[in-house]
Amino acid sequence: MADNYIKRILEANVYDVAVETPMSPAQFLSDRLSNTILIKREDEQPVYSFKCRGAYNCISKKTPEELAKGVVTASAGNHAQGVALSAQKLGIKATIVMPRTTPEIKVASVRARGAKAVLHGDTFDEAFTYSQKLVEEKGMTYIHPYDDPDVIAGQGTIAMEMLRQCTGDIHAIFVPVGGGGIAAGVAAYVKYLRPEIKVIAVESTESACLAAAMKAGKRVTLPHVGIFADGVAVAQIGKHTWQVCKDHIDECITVTPDELCAAIKDIFDDTRSVAEPAGALGVAGLKKYVERTGIEGKTLIAIESGANMNFDRLRYVSEMAEVGEGREVIMAVTIPEKPGSFQTFCNLLGKRPITEFNYRYGRDDAAQIYVGVKVPEGGKQDLLDELAAKHYPAVDLSNDDVSKYHIRHMVGGHAPESVDNEILYRFEFPERPGALLVFLKTLGKRWNISMFHYRNHGAANGRVLVGLQVPKGEEAELKTYLDEVAYPYWEESDNPAYKLFLR
């Protein structure tokens, strides 16, 4: 299957709009990981992502008749910009259907290039369905974001450049995966010319459709897709891309949103570029691979696939980067409730920087504090062991979603005894104007809301923590109601952070 793409890649027409991007040495990361780390800078494309390659190659190979009524696509943003730029270059009309959750920077970029942006639905699948309706009704030519041989071939030109730019030994190339276009293009070319090089796919844990397909031995559809890494928020790997990836991808690595935040920081430290979450997948997967295998002295390449980052999302990335790197510990610590306890505790921490410290009087004998502490890489367990040795009970909350997204902003006292029958739920919902108000009105009609926390993270999905007073015997009715709300939710009544600080 890979052989079929070599001629397509060699004949791909991309450089009317794309540029040959550099391979930047990542010196800080190389020193830390004891390997030579190179970053393929696809963020330096005119649309700040690699997507213009596949889009232009695909559109340029259409017939005049196919282009006469204009082109249409569905995209969360980067492919949309690639199509808009390509259509502008070729002087044809383009309509881009984008989910309403698409970052504004990507919508504005599409419109700035003369394309018509239509916002429809909350997910890529809803946008895709609407784009197909336009194809049927208006005869427009559809340009698929990843599942088209000409799109795959256009993305494959990245591999041509990488093997030209780095002619020595390469141990592995780390490729981001959404629908699989760039992974299929890179794998097809690399495995044909240099089969000894590992091609490793990297996915977000929130949208790992290739990993699920590899495990099942066939394409599967994920029941739910998270959209922190909106550029790869795809529920099913493509048909064409699967045919290449299943035989030529060496392995899949999945990374968490926190690990992506840490990788964004690493990329910035080495290149001063700000990758979007999907753009940092390659580096995040590379780091995880080195940690797992312990390899040293090898050349590893990660593709930085895009830099279309909303500015207001940076605060969230900054907050989570140290946690994702394992350089910040978030803890609940019990200390004596008496004068001097805070000072004694801080003395124990020594010169470790405190990133957060929250407390409110709760009971006479002990104080429950919420504290964040910066530690050296790998130093988390040393701190926890030191606290245990000094008889400070501590609960590590670094990987607890309720703690990271909500409790850290809410610490201020426990509920009074009058708040009984409280059940805690965590929700996610599409972030758009008015969504929080609709959610709040809908949820508050039946049961009393005893606690509520929402914070805009600059992301495409909103996170809400809700306490509901549900009388005994009404739990089944509540579950039926929540299922009808149709937002992803998780009960968190047994969450340790909730019990320690708020219950």
Q: Within 13 A of 397's CA, how many CA atoms are on the CB side?
A: 28
Annotated active-site residue 116? The verdict is no
The pair of three-digit structure tokens given for residue 116, joined into one six-digit string: 């018509």
Report whether 396 contacts 380 (CB < 8 A): yes
Q: Considering 51, 191, 265, 288, which one is annotated as catalytic?
A: 51
Q: Considering 109, 305, 403, 450, which one is annotated as catalytic?
A: 305
Report whether 307 contacts 179 (CB < 8 A): no
The pair of three-digit structure tokens given for residue 462, joined into one six-digit string: 């909103």
Dihedral-angle region of residue 411 (phi above 0 means left; psi in -120 to 50 means alpha; beta otherwise):
beta
- Distance, in Å, from the CA atom of 205 to the CA atom of 94, rounded to the nearest integer, reads 33
The pair of three-digit structure tokens given for residue 467, joined into one six-digit string: 């306490």
Say which residue the tokens 């504004």 belong to.
104
- Three-state DSSP at 223 gives coil
Whole-angstrom Cα Rg for the chain: 25
Annotated active-site residue 86? The verdict is no
| Per-residue DSSP letter, 46 | T
- Report the sign of the C-alpha dihedral through residues 239, 245, 247, 253, in that order: negative
The pair of three-digit structure tokens given for residue 444, joined into one six-digit string: 């508050």
- Whole-Å CA distances, 293 to 211, 262, 296: 19, 20, 9
- Three-state DSSP at 393 gives coil
Nearest residue to 257 via CA among 166, 172, 323, 352: 323
Amino acid at 272: R
* 365 C-beta neighbours (distance < 10 Å), count: 9
- Distance, in Å, from the CA atom of 73 to the CA atom of 95, rounded to the nearest integer, reads 7
Say which residue the tokens 């969360």 belong to.
76
- Report the sign of the C-alpha dihedral through residues 202, 204, 205, 209, in that order: negative
> Could you give the residue numbers annotated as active site?
51, 305
